[in-house]
Structures are given as structure tokens and as C-alpha cells.
Amino acid sequence: MGNLFVVSAPSGAGKTSLCKEIVDFFPRLRHSVSYTTRPPRAGEVEGRDYHFVARDAFDRMAAAGRFAEWAEVHGNGYGTAIATLEEARSGGYDLLLEIDCQGAAQIKQNYRHGVFIFILPPSIDELRRRLEGRGTDSAEIIARRIENARGEILQAAWYDFLVVNDDFSRARDEFRAIILAENCRSARVLPTLPVEFGLAESL
């Protein structure tokens, strides 16, 4: 029985970099690969970054209830297949889902044992500096991202854990600690103990 970690953050909070570090650090933790209707970008690999599917295939999956969560974002469909979660469970590895608050809320309804983590910027000003520092977005797009971020941050309250990414290494240590601590929960450790401890009937 693997753990399910669900991570959300506003754009610019550093979620992608933090999640990459975390997945590299824990051998038993894997990134969940979502389905999407949007075309692959340069460098993206089918089955690693996304499962790229045609719109009609995506819609059939959604209609058949095969998604644990799905959403439309800017006209593209994104979804996490229930099969992806079940493969992790039966395979005994942990899964990391990087999804927005809307998707996380859907997961929360059906997977209450999931561990929900929200990554926050230290302030709106710092978030703006980071988005401007990328040098890729117009002032208008940055303003929209900031507005979206304000809305998303309001959702942070219902998550289990909050990681403030002011200093990357500190945020990484906190994120790691959350994963490691969950792996020390009784339900996870009990099955690994020697039979002589007599705890088998507690499982």
C-alpha cells in the first residue's frame, strides 16, 4: 500500500523544481503521469511527461469514469487515471501528483488517505519578482498569474501541510520531512517488523 502525495502551488512558487528533487531523493516515490489532450511541447516525452491522447479518447475516459480527477484548462483536458493510482497501490510504491487545487479537491473526495501538500511563495511581491525574472511572460500575463495565485492560495487552508518556499533548501528539507515522516506511520512500519514482536495481529 503506497502513499499518495498530492502537491499544489500557484505558478511561480517553485513546485516543479521541488517535486523533481523529491522524486529523485526517494527511490520508492514516483511522479504520477497525467493524461492530456494538449500536444507535446519540445522535449516532452510520451509516458514520462504526459500520456498524450486525442480529444475523443480523453472524453471517452472521462465519460467512463476512468479519471480520479480531471479538468479543462485553457481548452485542454488534463486528468489522472484511476488505473495510475491503482498500479502504484498494487506495486507498493508512493505516488506524487502535481495538480491544481480543483484536481486536488476531487482527489480528496475519493482518496481521503492522501497527503495534501501546498507550496506557498513567501509573499505576493516575491511571487511577482520570480514571474518577472523568468522573462517569458508579458506584464498582462504576469498580472493574470498573480490574480490566479491569490485565488489558489485561498485554497491552502484545507491542505494537510504547507511549505513556504522562501529558501529553496529549507523548503526542500520540509518537503522531504513530510514524505519521510509519512513513511514512519505505524500502518506503514508495522508490516515490516519482525514476526517475533507479536504485532502481526495489529495489521
Q: Name the residues that contact a second copy, by CB under 8 A.
A: 118, 120, 122-124, 150, 153-154, 156-164, 173-174, 176-178, 180-182, 184-186, 189-190, 192-194, 196-199, 202
Measure the CA–CA gap between 36 and 52, rounded to whole angstroms: 5
Identify which of residues 89 and 188 has a Cβ nearer to a second copy in the complex.
188
Residues contacting 168, CB < 8 A, separation 6+: 14, 17, 18
What is the closest distance, in whole angstroms, from the C-beta atom of residue 96 to a second copy in the complex? 16
Identify which of residues 6 and 81 has a Cβ nearer to a second copy in the complex.
6
> Does 12 carry a binding-site annotation?
yes
What is the closest distance, in whole angstroms, from the C-beta atom of residue 10 to a second copy in the complex? 10
> Does 13 carry a binding-site annotation?
yes
Residues contacting 1, CB < 8 A, separation 6+: 89, 92, 187, 188
Question: Residues 180, 10, 61, 47: what is their CA dihedral angle, to the nearest 10 degrees?
Answer: -60
- Helix (H) / strand (E) element for 148: namely helix 139-153
What is the closest distance, in whole angstroms, from the C-beta atom of residue 190 to a second copy in the complex? 7
What is the closest distance, in whole angstroms, from the C-beta atom of residue 42 to a second copy in the complex? 35
Q: Is 189 helix (H, G, I), strand (E, B) or coil?
A: helix
> Does 10 carry a binding-site annotation?
yes
What is the closest distance, in whole angstroms, from the C-beta atom of residue 187 to a second copy in the complex? 9
Supply the DSSP string of 69-110, one letter for each residue: EEEEETTEEEEEEHHHHHHHHHHT-EEEEE--HHHHHHHHHH
Identify which of residues 46 and 158 has a Cβ nearer to a second copy in the complex.
158
> Does 16 carry a binding-site annotation?
yes
Q: Which of 22, 30, 24, 29 is nearest to 168 (CA)?
A: 22
Identify which of residues 6 and 61 has a Cβ nearer to a second copy in the complex.
6
Output the known binding site. Answer: 9-16
Output the known binding site for ATP. Answer: 9-16
